[in-house]
C-alpha cells in the first residue's frame, strides 16, 4: 500500500507516469528523482508510447518542472 521503495518506475506506463508523477515526487522524491536522472543519462527508459504530443506539451509546467514531459517527448521522437 505505501511501499514506495519497491515501485519499479521504469515499468510505469506512460499515461500513469503522466498522471502520478507529482505523487511519486511527494512520496518517494529521492528515488523518483534518481530514476529521472538515470532516464536523462540513458541508463534507463521512461515509457512514452500511449501519450500524445499535445498531452506532453500540456505537462511542461507540471510540479516536476516538466522533467517527465521532456523525457517522454525525447522518447517519442527517438
Nearest to 35 by CA among 46, 27, 19: 46
Q: Rounded mean pLDDT of the chain?
A: 90
Residue 1 in domain: no
- CA distance linking residue 44 with residue 77, whole number of Å: 16
pTM summary value: 0.83
| Tens-place pLDDT, residues 10-37 | 999 999 999 999 999 999 999 999 999 9
- Tally the domains of the chain: 1
Residue 61 in domain: yes
Domain, as residue range, for 31: 8-77
Q: Which residues contact 10 (CB under 8 A, 6 or more apart)?
A: 35, 44, 45, 46
Contact 32, 67 (CB under 8 A): no
- CA distance linking residue 26 with residue 43, whole number of Å: 23
Residue 48 in domain: yes
Nearest to 68 by CA among 77, 57, 4, 78: 57
Residue 3 in domain: no
Amino acid at each position: 500500500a505505501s511501499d514506495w521503495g519497491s515501485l519499479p518506475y521504469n515499468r510505469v506506463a506512460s499515461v500513469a507516469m503522466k498522471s502520478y508523477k507529482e505523487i511519486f515526487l511527494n512520496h518517494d522524491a529521492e528515488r523518483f528523482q534518481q530514476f529521472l536522472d538515470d532516464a536523462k543519462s540513458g541508463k534507463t527508459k521512461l515509457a512514452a508510447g500511449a501519450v500524445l504530443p499535445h498531452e506532453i506539451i500540456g505537462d511542461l509546467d507540471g510540479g516536476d518542472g516538466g522533467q517527465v514531459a521532456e523525457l517522454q517527448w525525447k522518447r517519442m521522437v527517438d
